[in-house]
Structure 1
Amino acid sequence: MAAKKSERALVDEWRDVLALHARTICELDRELHQHGLGASDFEVLDVLAEDTSEGGDCSFRVQELASRVHLSQSALSRLVARLEKDGLVTRGMCPEDRRGVRVALTEAGRARHAEVRPLQRAVLSRMLPGTIQTRGPR
């Protein structure tokens, strides 16, 4: 019986994680919509902006970016096409492998990210109170 309770607790904890994720994504989408972005859009801008700030201009191959933002490569390709249409990112050929595509922030993308970042961080603070960051400072 104890094993069943332990398994039940594990499943309940998993479902709590999924519910928190769903509520947080919905709240992010609602707040970011007024800036023409969704949660996944902002996540792509945020990853690109983080690495840009650490070492000048930075770009990611689509598959590298997909693993960082937890989207399939096809979903990310559609998202990047939208961001490019909005002038927030550029896509270009990968010099190391001409079959690959690299994605980079534009000046407009940096500006939109800087404008919306405090709002996104406020939503995370509100939705994830008491969450301990184990990954270190960001």
Structure 2
Amino acid sequence: MSKPSTASVDRPAIEQRVAPTGLVREWRDLMARHANVTCALEKELQRRHRIGLSEFETLDRLVDAACETYRMSELAAESHLSQSALSRAVARLEREGLVSRSMCTDDRRSIFVCLTDKGRAAHADAAPTHREVLEQTLR
């Protein structure tokens, strides 16, 4: 017995597919918009400043916090990065001298991140690019 060709399998043609509606459509539109903005930010931040979006977002949160130290677990929750993704971003920032990490003396499980002067300068340099791309892609 021979296998049916893929052309003979009863699948709806692309033109006959039903377009998603309601929440599914909203979700897909949101995901497409997010991907568009994220890709544009990543590309321009890398090209102009040699910094990734995760690293910039981490610096941006540290600048916004306006505090000496920031607990990694709180930073992960606010930056919408997983703990491991944030750890990798912070490690890259630390290698570049843009942040420093320290252990909490009261709770050895907690790690604090501190923005350095070099990190403040890198953020100040890249922030206009970030805001410019947001303006271009979200408006």
Please tell me the root mean square deviation across aligned C-alpha atoms, in Å. 1.5
Asked if residue 92 in structure 1 is aligned to residue 102 in structure 2, the reply is: yes
User: How far has the Cα of 1:80 moved from its partner?
Assistant: 0.6
Question: Is residue 128 of structure 2 the alignment partner of residue 118 of structure 1?
Answer: yes
Q: Residue 135 of structure 1 corresponds to which residue in structure 2?
A: none
Specify the alignment match of 1:136 in structure 2: none
How many residues are matched?
120
Report what 1:14 is aligned to.
27
CA contact (8 A) 1:48 1:58 kept: no
Instruction: Give the gaps of 5 or more residues in structure 2.
Output: 1-19
Residue deviations 1:63-95 (CA, integer Å, cap 9, x gap): 110001101101111111111001110000113
Match of 2:59 among 45, 50, 75: 45
Distance 1:58 1:11 in 2: 43
SS state of the match for residue 95, structure 1?
coil
Q: 2: distance between equivalents of 1:14 and 1:22?
A: 12
In structure 2, C-alpha distance between the alignment counterparts of 1:42 and 1:13, rounded to whole Å: 28
Q: What is the rounded CA distance, in whole Å, between the counterparts of 1:59 and 1:72 in structure 2? A: 19
In the alignment, the residues of structure 2 paired with residue 58 and residue 32 of structure 1 have an alpha-carbon distance, to the nearest angstrom, of 25
Distance 2:68 2:37 in 1: 28
From 75, 93, 105, the counterpart of 1:65? 75
TM-score (norm 1): 0.82
Amino acid at match of 1:58: E
- Secondary structure of 1:24's counterpart equals helix
